[in-house]
DNA sequence: ACAATGCTTGCATGAATGTGCAAGCGAGCA
DNA sequence: TGCTCGCTTGCACATTCATGCAAGCATTGT
């Protein structure tokens, strides 16, 4: 996956150096779908590679739809696939994702000092 | 923002306990748009609250569009707004986001042990 | 060679969403 | 009371995208 920065060239507002880490729009697009979230959860629960037909039991959609979702996740760089015979095995490959999430968290934190007024967001206290 | 888990009830594949942290689909939806990414970058670069009209200089879209994007980001819990006179000031409020990103990174990491075969993903080496 | 299995891809369709314009609404000003 | 300013909202439209079905393709088995 190529982390693609958004265009800020027209922006006339500038203060500090901003976000050190660009927001990976395409990565977030891949994660922003309930079916794909369920697929990732399925792969995580299994704790091992799964065939497409196994993954497809996690959601009511057609197997072809699941196949396409897996391709999307592969292009986003969060799963990898390997063909063995006539089966294709998918497995999580979240090393890059984990690094990116932490880098982005660091970037937001260092750029925007936490204020006291916020609590209970995102299901965490 | 309410972190909403995806439905995994139909899934017949189970191994370990899976992801401890649900994938926040709605949050990722909010981040998965180039205009909104630019808006966040603009707020980050400024390092201070901005009025809507200031934010709108970051992207070519109409001010009304930017206003709607800011509302979306507010509902996602990553910015907050405050009306002062006839102006509305928006500021980043990323404490919850930062916590969630780290929790999700931890969840992926503890659930899916890193493999050696992956490198150079997400723009990081 | 032929058929079956497992997955992917083409195509059509409906739903969701980003966008611009115009109107509306609240706050300050004359 | 009007008027302007700053922002939000209603509406229409175009694009994106998720989905299902059917066909295609690669691999294996007979």
B22 neighbors B8 (Cβ within 8 angstroms)? no
Most confident among A8-12, B17-21, B41-45 (mean pLDDT): B41-45
- Asked if residue B75 has pLDDT above 50, the reply is yes
The answer to whether position A121 is within a domain reads no
Mean pLDDT, consecutive 10-residue stretches, chain A (125 aa), reads 46 70 97 98 96 96 98 98 97 96 96 58 39
Q: Could you tell me the residue range of the domain that residue A38 belongs to? A: 25-111
Q: What is the reported pLDDT for A72? A: 98
| Torsion sign across C-alpha atoms B49, B54, B60, B62 | positive
Write phi, then psi, for A84 (nearest 5 degrees): -130, 105
Average pLDDT over residues B19-24: 94
Taking the CA of residue A66 and the C1' sugar atom of nucleotide C27, their distance in angstroms comes to 52
Both tokens assigned to A36: 């794909």
The tens digit of pLDDT for each residue in B88-119 reads 999 999 999 999 999 999 999 998 766 645 44
What percent of the residues of chain B are helix, what percent strand, and what percent coil, each to the nearest 5? 50, 10, 40
Say if A77 falls within a structural domain.
yes
- Asked whether residue B102 is assigned to any structural domain, the reply reads yes
Tell me which residue in B12, B41, B112 faces A44 most closely, judged by beta carbons: B112
Is residue B5 within 8 A of residue A13, CB to CB? The reply is: no
Name which of B16, B40, B55 is nearest A45 (Cβ-Cβ).
Answer: B16
- The answer on pLDDT for B16 being more than 80 is no
Residue B122 resides in a domain: no
pLDDT on residue A17: 78
B13 pLDDT band, cuts 50/70/90, is low
Tell me which residue of B35, B37, B27 sits closest to B6, measured CA to CA.
B27
CATH code for the domain of B106: 1.10.10.10
| Chain centre distance of CA A72 | 11
Give chain B's domain count.
1
How much is the pLDDT for A82? 97
Residue B36: per-residue pLDDT: 98
A14 part of a folded domain: no
What pLDDT was estimated at residue B115? 60
CB contact under 8 A, A25 and B7: no
> Integer distance in angstroms from CA B118 to C1' C22?
52
Inside any domain, residue A12: no
In a domain, B18, yes or no: no
In a domain, B119, yes or no: no
Average pLDDT over residues B46-56: 97
């Amino acid at each position: 996956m190529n982390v693609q920065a958004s265009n800020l060239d027209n922006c006339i507002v500038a203060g500090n150096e901003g976000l050190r880490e660009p927001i990976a729009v395409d990565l977030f697009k891949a994660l922003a779908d309930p079916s794909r979230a369920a697929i990732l959860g399925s792969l995580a629960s299994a704790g091992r590679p799964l065939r497409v037909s196994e993954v497809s039991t996690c959601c009511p959609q057609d197997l072809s739809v699941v196949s396409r979702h897996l391709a999307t996740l592969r292009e986003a760089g969060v799963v990898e696939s390997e063909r063995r015979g006539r089966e294709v095995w998918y497995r999580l490959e979240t090393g890059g994702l984990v690094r990116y999430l932490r880098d982005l968290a660091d970037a937001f934190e260092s750029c925007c000092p936490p204020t006291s007024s916020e609590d209970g967001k995102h299901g965490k206290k």
